Each structure stands twice: as structure tokens, then as C-alpha cells.
Amino acid sequence: MAAIHRTTMTPTKLELLTGWLPQQSWYVGDAESPELVKAGGFRLDDPDGAVGIEFMVVADDTAREPVAYAVPLGYRGAALEGVPGEALIGTSEHGVLGTRWIYDGVHDPVVMAQLRALLRGEAVPQHQSESDTPDPTVTVHGTGPDDGLDVQVNRVLRPAEAARTSSVRLVAGWMWPDGTAARGVLAAVGLRYEVARGR
């Protein structure tokens, strides 16, 4: 199980995402510098213990309607070779582990392998900020193999039990900036979502 270190990261994850997020094609905010808050998420364990894996949900309150984004993150102790330049969100100095290269998880093979394992029921979602603590609020719905099929991360979240036609879907919760709780599909097998915004 991965240990959660009580330490600092400079710059912080939210600071890195504030600069990176508006550059993405799926960004639907109105501002070049969104005001992001941590809204939810969970972690997965790398069986080899080399890559930190976090599925972070951030909310942007600067848009006309609040928007929540799902960003899978891969934390590495060295640069990842063979990925496009936009895959790197940035580097940060970790108070315990030193320099960490932080990648958009959809481009990180370890992150995607563990996401597939979760969808197959072979991995246990972990609490975002507590070591060795499963998170039972993160659930997988539907059955069926995902090997060889397209696993899509739903970048712009909407609070709905969507993707009912998908054989397998990953559902988790987040909090809107006003304190309202929501749940929605973070990832699914074999289905591409249309972008939706608002609550």
C-alpha cells in the first residue's frame, strides 16, 4: 500500500493544474486562470510501488456555471519516456521524495493499467489522503472484460448515473464549491462522453 506523506509540494498540485488545465482541448472554463479547488478523488496502488496514482477531481468556480474536472495523475521519480510533451503537467519538489514528475494519467501506462484493474475488480480504490484506507464510496458498476476495449476518462463531470449503456463504469463523488455533494461517472469502458457543464 502506498504511504501518504504529510509534507509539502512546491509548486502545489492545484498550482500546476491551474496553468495546465486551460491548455487542454476539453477545458470548458471561461477564464485563462481558473480558480481551482480540490473537490474529491481517490488513489490507486502501483503493485511495484514506483508510481504514485491519484484520481483528482477539481472544481472551477470562475465559469458561468461551476465545472468539475477529473484529472488522473501519475507521480514519478524520473521523467517518463515515450509520451507526448503535453502529458507532463509539471514537476514539483516533494518534501520527502524530492523532485516528482507529474503526468496526466491517461498517458501514463501504469496509471491506465491500474484503472483497468479497478474496472475488472482486481484493484481496490484507496482514500485520497489516508494511508492503507480503502474508499468504499468509489464503486464500479456493470460487468464485462475491458481488455482490448477503449477505456475513456470522463474529463468534465456531471452528476448523473450516466453511461448506462456501457458495460463497465467507475462512479465516484465530489463536492461543488457551495458544499453540495455530487456523484458521477469518472471513467467507462467503450463509451466516449459528450462534454457537459453545470449542475
Residue 9 is predicted with a pLDDT of 79
Go through 78-92 and write b for each residue having 16 or more CB atoms within 10 A of its CB, e for each that does not: eebeebeeebbbeeb
pLDDT in tens, 21-42: 999 999 998 777 899 999 999 9
Residue 198 is predicted with a pLDDT of 41
pLDDT in tens, 139-151: 998 866 656 668 9
Structure confidence at residue 69 as a pLDDT band (50, 70, 90): very high
Residue 166 is predicted with a pLDDT of 57
Structure confidence at residue 19 as a pLDDT band (50, 70, 90): very high
Residue 33 is predicted with a pLDDT of 82
The H or E element that residue 145 is part of is none
pLDDT in tens, 116-164: 999 999 999 999 988 889 999 999 988 666 566 689 999 999 887 544 5
Mean pLDDT on 160-185 = 82
Torsion on CA atoms 176, 197, 184, 167, rounded to nearest 10 = -170
Residue 41 is predicted with a pLDDT of 96
For the chain, give every domain's residue range. 9-189
Residue 192 is predicted with a pLDDT of 46
Q: Show Cβ contacts of residue 138 under 8 Å, excluding neighbours closer than 6 positions.
A: 42, 125, 170, 171, 172
